[in-house]
Structure 1
Amino acid sequence: MMIRLAKKEDIPQLIKMRWDFTIEHDESKKIASFLEFETECRQFLEEALQGNQWFIWVAEEQNKILSHIYIELIRKVPRPGRITFPFAYMTNVYTLKEYRNKGIGGKLLSTINDWSKQSNYEFIMVWPSDDSISFYKKHGYTHCIEPMEYNPHLV
């Protein structure tokens, strides 16, 4: 198994995995147009892979992506008197069903944890599902105070 950053050739697999991940957690989305989703997701992934804001990590075996984790780098406004390091937002953590509970996601997450230390990121933030809390705790993550949010579409 190889753990690496995603590349352009991975886009079709990443699109399919994102679709499957969404449907697995919300079957009502099956009625959505795959073609529309594919177009939007392809554009996002092409831009993400060319930029330096998103880092998409994959675990692959024989050219098949088994697991992925998306990291968005968030730069902070500098403060006087201290060096300001960015933090990372982790999202879209997914392992194919048939490869779960085999340590693949854990190896991928450990790689990202090491990378974040080497890169001097201040912290990694993730909103885990109830089912994944123990997975993150096992890899050194702790609960923090929940952030607040504003949703302009609900006001």
Structure 2
Amino acid sequence: MKYRKANIDDIDKLIHLRKKQLIDEGIEPTIDIDNELSNFFKNKLSDGSLIQWVVEDNEEMIACGAIIYYEFPPTYTNKSGKKGYITNMYTNENYRGKGIATTLMTKLVDEAKAGGISNIWLGASKLGKPVYKKFGFKETNEWLEFNIL
């Protein structure tokens, strides 16, 4: 298996994996989001705010994981204000349980360290939560969500 950073040429495959991830999480594909995903990956990969790692086996993209960088006002516990959000974690069902997600997480944490990021967070699916907890992520009650529509 080959681990590498994604680039603009990978967008179609990234869109495919993202949609598989959402369906695996139980989200019904009720609308077409291809254009929005294409724009997202194009913009974020181009400006460097998204670092997407992919895993290939025999030229097939079988897993991915990403970190998105955000900048918040500095705090006493995060002097730079920079944080990383882990997202777009997906492993093809035939490759699960082989340590791929853990290897991707290690690469993403290394990216955060290299970028001077000391705080990372994520939203975990039921399927992913055990992987992240085993890796060392802790559950908090810090986040609340408000839907305007």
**Contact 1:85–1:120 under 8 Å retained in 2:** no
Q: Which has the larger radius of gyration?
A: 1
1:135 correspondence with 2:125: no
- Counterpart residue number, 1:149: 145
Output one character per residue of 1:110-131: Cα deviation in whole Å (capped at 9) or x when no partner: 1112222232212110111233
Q: Percent identity?
A: 26
Matched to 1:62, the amino acid is N
What residue ranges of structure 1 are gaps of 5+ in the alignment?
none
- Counterpart residue number, 2:70: 74
- Counterpart residue number, 2:41: 45
Task: Give the Cα–Cα distance (whole angstroms) in 2 for the partners of residues 11 and 24 of structure 1.
Answer: 20
Which structure shows the bigger proportion of residues in helix conformation? Answer: 1
| Distance change in 2, residues 1:143/1:26 (3 Å) | closer
Query: TM-score scaled to structure 2, two decimals?
Result: 0.85
Matched to 2:18, the amino acid is R
Alignment root-mean-square deviation, CA: 2.1
Matched to 1:48, the amino acid is K
Give the 5 Å matches for 1:6-155. Answer: 6-26=6-26, 28-29=28-29, 31-32=30-31, 36-78=32-74, 83-153=79-149
User: Is the partner of 1:142 in helix, strand or coil?
Assistant: coil
**Contact 1:85–1:122 under 8 Å retained in 2:** no
| Distance change in 2, residues 1:133/1:92 (3 Å) | same
